[in-house]
Amino acid sequence: MASSISSLGIGSGVLTADVIDQLKEADEAIIIAPIESKITLNNQKQDSQELLTSLMKTFKASASALSYDTIFENKTVDVSGSAEVSVEAGAAVESFTLETVTLAKKDIVKLGAVATEATSVASDNGTLEIKIGADPLNPDQTLNIEYTSGMSLSELTQAITDEAGDSVSASVLQTADGAFNLVLTSKNTGEDFALTISDTSGFLDAALFDAYDSVTNPNGYEKVQTATDATFKYNGITTTRSTNEVSDLILGLNIKLKEEGDISNVDVSLDTEEITGELQQFTDSYNTLISNIQDMTIKDSETGAEGVFNSSSFVKSISRELSDIITSMSGDNDSLVNYGIDLDRYGTMSFDKSVIDTKLEDDPDAVKLFFTGGTNSYGTEVAGIFETLDDKLQDYTGYGKLLSNFKTELETEGTNLSKSHLSATESLEARYAIMEKRFTAYDSIISQINSQFSSLQMIIDAESS
């Protein structure tokens, strides 16, 4: 107690500081302690609400992943043969054979050799003409390379690169001692990129255009490789493309032809691993959520265990609403049980991967319709099971939705309890401040009375003597 009542009881022997402490402790037990217990419980509820919201959002993420039809767009491809095939989302599930007859090739022309790169190849100013196209008489493109008198082989090569570098690659290749050839290569494959080269002015070194002969002119002018289209058979149907990389044959498939004469068997199938993986994640997150809700709402009369939300009808309703959707039947009397998802009598979810694997193999479109919704065989729009579940979870987890409002209620309750605790504490302190003053005054009066009585007692004793 304060020093002002440290002498209490001297006069009365009754109105002591201990008495005030005992009275105050009794009032605190009746008035303050219950509020503090409610504050502690409210703090526990707010912590549990944060956990509940987090678990609900995790579960919603799993349901959302299964509610979008994009999860059924992922495909895998298996190829037996040398062709390379990659698959993109949206590709159709199918199997086919791919026979490569001829590969697409670039056009390669080797001009005749001169002694060195620095050798002059032009006697006067003129023009080197390069036609690009399958028909030289009607080319798709004509490039005119201007050359000057005294220009060397390397300078001519650079002039071609400067003017025609986007379409033609020019380089000097030493093919033998004292033999340097200018090699022109089309940048693209296919017949439409065949090269036809001519000196329209006639001032270039004649050696550049002297025809190849294995005996008399082994380093002469020759068409090293003729531009050709790729020819291949798709399921026996002959098809041509200007390139060996084909992306417009089948939607979502990129094919790269690698070897002439190759026969590749291609099998495009649904990537079921992602779907089954998401279903397992869905199962795990549901069980974690429900287990925590059960702990939060438990009230066991035998053990005395009570969850922080054992009296909350709102929290209890969550597991009931979710289980109602999960076990619901569609208009076609279909349910998640038929896809490997089931709940036992304790509310625990199980997932049988073999069941969904069989479903996906037999009829992936039916699985997609049940999961994500769409138009059924009768032309009716139906909602998917995971679409419905995702919408329900959005009602809980969305901004300003049920869990957000629940959080606000708990925070408001906590604020009010703190105010009540402060008000009750201040009121109790004020009451006992007044009581302290009264006890001090009463004790002083009793002390005076005791003193007066002692004097009277001495007078009485004296008279008696």
10 pLDDT band, cuts 50/70/90, is very low
Q: Which residues contact 29 (CB under 8 A, 6 or more apart)?
A: none
Neighbours of 436 (CB within 10 A): 18
* CA 442 remoteness from chain centre: 77
- Contact (CB, 8 A) for 465 and 31: no
Closest by Cα among 301, 378, 391, 285 to 332:
378
Q: With a cut of 60, say whether residue 2 has pLDDT above it.
A: no
The pLDDT value recorded for residue 199 is 97
Structure tokens belonging to residue 362:
């037999």
In which residue are the tokens 């005054």 written? 441
One-letter identity of residue 95: S
The pLDDT value recorded for residue 330 is 77
Quick one: angle between helices 17-67 and 272-297, nearest 10? Answer: 160
Q: With a cut of 70, say whether residue 16 has pLDDT above it.
A: no
DSSP-derived 3-state class of residue 163? helix
Which stretch of DSSP H or E encloses residue 111? none
- pLDDT tens-digit readout, 47-58: 999 999 999 999
Structure tokens belonging to residue 409:
């209620």
Q: With a cut of 70, say whether residue 443 has pLDDT above it.
A: no
221 pLDDT band, cuts 50/70/90, is very high
Q: With a cut of 60, say whether residue 435 has pLDDT above it.
A: yes
The pLDDT value recorded for residue 229 is 97
- Residue 6 is classified by DSSP as T
Q: Which residues contact 295 (CB under 8 A, 6 or more apart)?
A: 307
Q: With a cut of 50, say whether residue 337 has pLDDT above it.
A: yes
What mean pLDDT do residues 27-44 have?
Answer: 91
The pLDDT value recorded for residue 9 is 46
State the Cα–Cα distance between residues 343 and 379, nearest whole angstrom. Answer: 32
The pLDDT value recorded for residue 137 is 93
